[in-house]
Structures are given as structure tokens and as C-alpha cells.
């Protein structure tokens, strides 16, 4: 049984290059201070279930390329794996937004995934300072390894608030990713709107990204989160 907080019927930005709908699953084990979906961190944010999602998808067959499972952290709910399988059977491509907190479940979902957007929140050893959870960097690193080994289409993205990550930490992230074989990295500037307001209303600009980082990737993008 999936617990879904909302469905965006049509988007061109949540899965670059695809026309997709997005199912926002309730619940997340981490507590990032810049979270723009913080109300989805709790299971009681759910208002819909699997029946609503698949009834919606049945009406969109042939009209949408795919469905993105987002959140919250979709893999908190193991049922997302079977939902991905069902969506694939209906002819939809399947995308996933994940923070990488559940590498084992991610491994089970891989056969049904066409594209993944993986958050990379900090250098692996500094993760706890952002997520508030010990060991989170190891989980995310294992998830990245699985995705790279599987060869699934992958975008890594890092949200940057100047009080949370220094330029040196951004450089460390970029070099670590490039050395692992990551080809796509997006820097997402912190946006205050939609957060709990716990962070200062400050942001970063494209010129803040050290010049030698973007050439490390085949695809690099600076975007407003
Ligand atoms: S992992 Fe994502 S959904 Fe969870 S708290 Fe962090 S930003 Fe929010």
C-alpha cells in the first residue's frame, strides 16, 4: 500500500527531456534544513493511495512518457518497487528522485528504473551535518555505486546553501563524483521559499562555482532548486 501526498499530472522539468507525472510519496528519514518538501517528511501527509495513482495512470497511457516517484524519500515505502513494476507494465518509463538512504531497496527497484535523480548532499564524510542522521553518507555512497554499476541513466544534484557547504566542500563533491564515473552533475542554488525558514535567506550564484568544476562532467548545470 503506497501512501502518496500528491500527484503532479504533468511536468517537463522533474525528468529532463520527458513528459511525466510525479507521484510524491510521504515520509523521509532525513531532516535536511533546506528541504522544500518538509511537510512530506511525515507519513500523515498522505492523502491518496495506489488505487488513485493507477487510476490516474490508466487515463494517461499514450499521453505521458513516464512517471517519476518522488517525495519525501520514495524508497522509505517498499511498495514503490512494485508500483514501478506495474507502471512499466502499463508502458510508462519510470524515474526516481532519491536521497540514497535505502541502497538495498534501490537495488531491488533497479530492474524497473529508466532514470534516477540522486541527491548528493555533501562530501560523504560530512553528510550527517546536513541530514542529521549518522551513517547517511555511507548509505548514499552505496546507492551511487549501485546506480553506476547498473548503468542506469543518472543525474546527481547538490543543493548549495552557503552556510552549509563551502566552496572547498563543493569541489570535494565534484571531484569525488567525477572520479567515480558520474557524468551529470547539477548544482541547485538554495531557495528559501517553501522551507521551514531555519536557514538564512541567502543563496549562491553560478559565478560562486569554482571554474574548474564544470569541465569535470559531460553535463553540468547550475539551476535554481
Ligand atoms: S532527503 Fe530530501 S525529502 Fe528528505 S529531508 Fe532531505 S531534502 Fe527533504
**Domain parsing of the chain, residue ranges:** 4-224
Residue 112 has pLDDT above 80, yes or no: yes
Ligand 1 environment, Cβ below 6 A: 28, 30-32, 35, 37, 41, 71-73, 99
> Which architecture characterizes domain 4-224 according to CATH?
Alpha-Beta Barrel (3.20)
Average pLDDT over every residue of 44-60: 96
In the prediction, which pLDDT does 151 show? 97
CB atoms within 10 A of CB 154: 18
CA of 12 to the centre of ligand 1 (A): 21
* Residue 72: cis peptide before it, omega within 30 degrees of 0: yes
pTM, 2 dp: 0.97
Average pLDDT over every residue of 61-70: 97
**Which of 21-30, 32-41, 55-64, 144-153 bottoms out in mean pLDDT, i.e. has the lowest?**
32-41
* Average pLDDT of the chain to the nearest whole number: 96
Q: How far apart are CA 53 and CA 6, in angstroms?
A: 9
In the prediction, which pLDDT does 225 show? 59
Altogether, the residues listed in the chain come to a count of 225
Average pLDDT over every residue of 134-163: 98
CA of 61 to the centre of ligand 1 (A): 30
- Tell me which DSSP letter residue 151 carries: T
Amino acid at each position: 500500500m503506497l501512501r502518496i501526498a500528491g500527484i503532479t499530472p504533468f511536468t517537463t522539468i522533474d525528468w529532463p527531456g520527458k513528459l511525466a507525472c510525479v507521484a510524491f510519496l510521504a515520509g523521509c528519514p532525513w531532516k535536511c534544513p533546506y528541504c522544500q518538501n518538509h511537510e512530506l517528511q511525515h507519513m500523515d501527509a498522505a492523502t491518496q493511495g495506489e488505487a488513485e495513482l493507477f487510476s490516474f495512470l490508466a487515463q494517461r497511457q499514450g499521453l505521458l512518457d513516464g512517471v517519476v516517484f518522488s517525495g519525501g524519500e520514495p524508497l522509505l515505502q517498499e511498495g514503490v518497487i512494485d508500483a514501478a513494476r506495474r507502471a512499466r507494465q502499463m508502458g510508462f518509463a519510470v524515474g526516481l528522485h532519491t536521497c540514497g538512504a535505502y541502497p538495498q531497496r534501490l537495488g531491488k527497484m533497479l530492474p524497473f528504473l529508466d532514470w534516477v535523480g540522486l541527491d548528493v548532499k555533501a562530501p560523504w564524510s560530512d553528510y550527517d551535518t546536513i541530514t542529521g542522521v549518522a551513517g547517511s553518507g555511507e548509505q548514499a555512497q552505496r546507492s551511487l555505486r549501485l546506480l553506476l554499476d547498473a548503468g542506469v541513466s543518472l543525474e546527481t544534484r547538490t543543493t548549495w546553501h552557503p552556510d552549509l557547504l563551502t566552496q572547498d566542500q563543493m569541489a570535494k563533491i565534484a571531484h569525488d563524483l567525477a572520479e567515480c564515473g558520474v557524468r551529470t552533475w547539477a548544482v541547485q542554488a538554495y531557495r528559501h521559499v517553501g522551507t521551514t525558514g531555519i536557514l538564512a535567506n541567502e543563496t549562491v550564484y553560478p559565478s560562486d562555482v569554482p571554474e574548474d568544476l564544470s569541465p569535470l562532467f559531460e553535463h553540468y548545470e547550475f539551476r535554481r532548486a
